[in-house]
Amino acid sequence: MVIDPSVETPAFLALLGVHVLAGLFALGAGFGAIVTTKGGRRHNAAGRLYVLSMAVVVTTAVPLAVWVENWFLLAIAAFSGYLVFGGYRVI
């Protein structure tokens, strides 16, 4: 497997770091929303944090996927964003 040298640039690594941290926040917030009582203050706060974290994940996933020319991951980012924001909008 050949690693593209452009993925070792500081800009790419910084964007990847933000993407990973936001993903970790989304995992924690999603778990928090699952284990709390639906409609409660904690559930709503965890849900908002989840949507915000996923917004960062999707926003950073798009340039990362374009950078490495991985169109499949770009499609996953678009579909994930559609599902998260569509679900939030229904509420």
Give 26-77 pLDDT, tens digit per residue: 999 999 999 999 999 999 999 999 999 999 999 999 999 999 999 999 999 9
Q: Which of 47, 44, 76 is nearest to 61 (CA)?
A: 76
In this structure, what are the phi and psi dihedrals at residue 2, rounded to the nearest 5 degrees? Answer: -100, 130
The answer to whether the Cα torsion of 66, 71, 72, 77 is positive or negative is: positive
Give this prediction's pTM: 0.90
SS (H, E, C) 22-51: HHHHHHHHHHHHHHCCCCCHHHHHHHHHHH
Q: Which residue ranges make up each domain of the chain?
A: 14-90
